Amino acid sequence: MKILVPLESEGGKRIIADRFEYATYYIIFDVSSNKCRELDMLKPARTEGGRRLLIASWAMNRDVKAAVAKEIGRRAYDYLRIHGITLYYVDSSDPCEAARAVVKGKARVYPEELILEDTREERGMDFEGNLLR
């Protein structure tokens, strides 16, 4: 099973990012027979417009059906869902441990009540609701 994991580096160690759409990079892991293998990596620029859509499209084009997150904003969540990717809530910071939990059925589908509302700036709007250009 292919699983998308948002990652950060901390002290030379890879950990799951606190918020999905703000991760430094994303790795697709293949988990089978309890082995966790890296298949592909995406490192989008933080300032890249359409970053959430880019991540979801990239994963979908690689036949990813599941992703993990500790926190996620509404737009990132919706893009994953629209692209046929099921999001799972994880507490672990270890990417392979989290991916294995999904495969073993121990991770729960991301609860609707935990989805964070995006700020106006994240939605591309100023404080008066006008679209930013």
Type of residue found at 37: R
Compute the distance between CA of residue 102 and CA of residue 127 in angstroms, rounded to an integer: 39
With cut-offs at 50, 70 and 90, classify the pLDDT of residue 126.
very low
Maximum Cα–Cα distance across the chain: 53
pLDDT for position 120: 52
Average per-residue pLDDT for the chain: 88
pLDDT for position 4: 98
Q: Which two tokens stand for residue 56?
A: 């979801």
Compute the distance between CA of residue 65 and CA of residue 67 in angstroms, rounded to an integer: 7
Choice between 124 and 13, residue whose per-residue pLDDT is larger: 13
pLDDT for position 33: 77
Mean pLDDT value across residues 6-16: 94
Quick check: 103 and 65 in contact, CB under 8 A?
A: no
Q: Which two tokens stand for residue 25?
A: 């990079």
Write down all domains in the chain, each with its CATH number in brackets.
2-114 (3.30.420.130)
Mean pLDDT value across residues 92-119: 93
Compute the distance between CA of residue 121 and CA of residue 83 in angstroms, rounded to an integer: 24
Mean pLDDT value across residues 98-122: 88
pLDDT for position 111: 96
pLDDT for position 102: 96
Q: Which two tokens stand for residue 92?
A: 């672990």
- List, as one string, the DSSP characters of 94-121: -HHHHHHHHHTT-SEEPPGGGPBPPPTT
Instruction: Give per-residue pLDDT as tens, 46-99.
Output: 665 678 899 999 999 999 999 999 999 999 999 999 999 999 999 999 999 999
The burial of 66, by beta-carbon neighbours within 10 Å (0-12 exposed, 13-18 middle, 19 or more buried), is given as buried
The packing angle between helices 51-60 and 74-82, to 10°, is 30
With cut-offs at 50, 70 and 90, classify the pLDDT of residue 5.
very high
Residue 58's SS3 state is: helix
